[in-house]
Chains A and B, each alone.
Chain A
Amino acid sequence: MLRLVRPGLHLTRGHRALQAVPDTLAAALDRVVGSTNVSVSDTARWQHGQDESIHPCCPPDVVVWPQNVEEVSTCARLCHEQHVPMIPFGTGTGLEGGVSAPQGGVCFDLSAMADVVIVHPEDQDATVQSGVTRSKLNHEIASSGLTFPVDPGADASLCGMVATAASGTNAVRYGTMRHNTLNLEVVLADGRIMNTAGKDCRARKSAAGYDLTSLFVGSEGTLGFITQATLHLHALPEGSMVAVCPFPSVRAAVDATVDILHSCVPIARIEFLDKDMMTACQQHSGLDMIESPTLFLEFHGSPGSLRDQVKTTEDIVKDHGGMEFNWAQEQETKNKLWKARHDALYAIRSLHPGWKCYVTDVCVPISQLPEVILATQDDLKASGLIGPIVGHVGDGNFHCLVLMDPSKAGSGEAVHAFSTRLAKRALAVGGTCTGEHGIGLGKRDLLASERSESVGRRDVSAADWWWAAAISSDGPIMGPRGSVQKSEPQEAREELPECRVRRLAVRGTA
Chain B
Amino acid sequence: METFVLIDPLLPTGAFAHSLGLEPARIARAVGTLDETSVEASRAVETYARECAQSAIDAQLPFALAARAFAVRANEKHAREEDDDETTRAWRAANAECGALCASNAVNRRASASTGAALLRASIVAFGEERSWYLRAIKRTLRRPPPLGLGEAHHACVFGAVSAIANLDAEACARAYVYCIMRDVCSAATRLNASGPLETAAALRRCVDDAEAACAVAVADFNAATARTATSTVVDDGCTIIHHLRRAPATSALIYDVVQGAHDRARARLFNS
Q: Do A and B come from one complex?
A: no
- State the A residues within 8 Å of B (CB): none
